[in-house]
Amino acid sequence: MNLKKVVREVVAGIKPYIPGKPIEEVKREYKLKEVYKMASNENPLGPSPRAVSAIKKALAGINLYPDGSCFYLKKALSAKYKLDMENLVIGNGSDELIVLALHAFINKGDEVIIADPTFLVYKLAATLIEAKVISVPLKDFQYDLVSMKAKITKKTKMIFIANPDNPTGSYVNNKQVAEFLKALPKHVIVFFDEAYFEYAQNIKDYPDTLKYLNQGNIIVSRTFSKIYGLGGLRVGWAAASKEIIGYLNQVREPFNVNTLAQVGAIAALNDKAHIAKSRKLVEKGLKFFTQEFKMLDLFFVPSAANFILVKVGANSKIIYEKLLSKGIIVREMSAWGLKGFIRITIGNSKENNLFITELKKTLKTGNS
């Protein structure tokens, strides 16, 4: 059977998401003992220790299906963020929440507005359900909310705003968000993807989007994959009006979040020591990179997240390969349309120093 004739047209046309290289694969390929993953915005301190011990205790119960309603995780989130449990839904990573929102609200041909470039999953997931994706270029590496709002038509159903954004690390502030939400048509749902929310907490004008929940069609998503260090468990959450949450639950698989993810997330949520340590590490790392890039006269985007986008020049692919051969995995950004750029996740001091040392060497040898 010729599957090319069978596969859905939209699937055939999709460029697959390319994940970062796995550590073991890089070790094998380059015959390295140590490899440092600075490519996927994970937490270099590891998972919340509280989560690890809670998961160990829960292991004996994994013969049972998980709690399909994620009752205790919602209860913990509800207490922490002062939200009703009916305003919450839990996802298999916040990736799943993006997909659920699209599945619940988007018909074929409906318009979905996204920025370009931004987190790739919006376009991928919207294309798969045959939405019409309207891309609005970033302005000076920042979301251009004014232009995005101007693109709204009668057919617009959803607008995605990554805040802070990935891959730029830039953010939109409370004034910009307030202006954007003012007099927004009632048929439009705004999805604030706040995967890096916890890293932006020391920024004075970073918006508090939860306060808008009952004023319009707003979904706010957060994740346990970043500051909490639980990327491997796949767990994220979203807050919205009870009506929106009801629809998201209608398209959600009954057991979408596994038991260990639920238990780990509850424990990590209030692991204040781990959160504070992780935030401090990133603050320090960002300061270090900022100074170094300035000294090297490299253009970079000031970051509100745990990664930084920097322009290393036309030979970014060669630089990426050279870093890889030294065991440092970063992201080369051509696939995002950012030629000459790489994105580096903030690591621990050892990783950050190693990256800068190796980067300097590659830049010195004329990128050749």
- Cβ-closest position to ligand PLP: 93
- If you search the block for the tokens 């398209």, which residue do you land on? 251
Residue 26 or 125: the one with the smaller Cβ distance to ligand PLP is 125
For residue 15, count CB atoms less than 10 angstroms from its CB and return exposed for 0-12, middle for 13-18, buried for 19 or more. exposed
CB closer to ligand PLP out of 119 and 143: 119
User: Given the complex with ligand PLP, which of 170 and 217 has the nearer CB atom?
Assistant: 170
Residue ranges binding ligand PLP (CB under 6 A): 41, 93-95, 119, 162, 166, 193, 195, 223, 225, 231, 236
Contact 342, 39 (CB under 8 A): no
In the complex, the smallest distance separating the C-beta of residue 223 from ligand PLP, rounded to whole angstroms, is 3
Residue 325: what are its φ and ψ, rounded to 5°?
A: -65, -20
Residue 36 CB, shortest distance to ligand PLP, in Å, is 18
Question: What's the closest the beta carbon of residue 198 comes to ligand PLP, in angstroms?
Answer: 12
CB of 145 to ligand PLP, least distance (A): 16
Distance in Å, CB of 106 to ligand PLP, minimum:
18
Q: Which is nearer to ligand PLP, 91 or 327 (CB)?
A: 91
- Residue 174: which of 143, 202, 150, 205 has the closest Cα? 205
Q: How far is the CB of 308 from ligand PLP (least distance, A)?
A: 14
Residue 93 or 285 with smaller CB distance to ligand PLP: 93
Cβ–Cβ under 8 Å, residues 172 and 98: no
C-beta of 197 vs 300, nearer to ligand PLP:
197
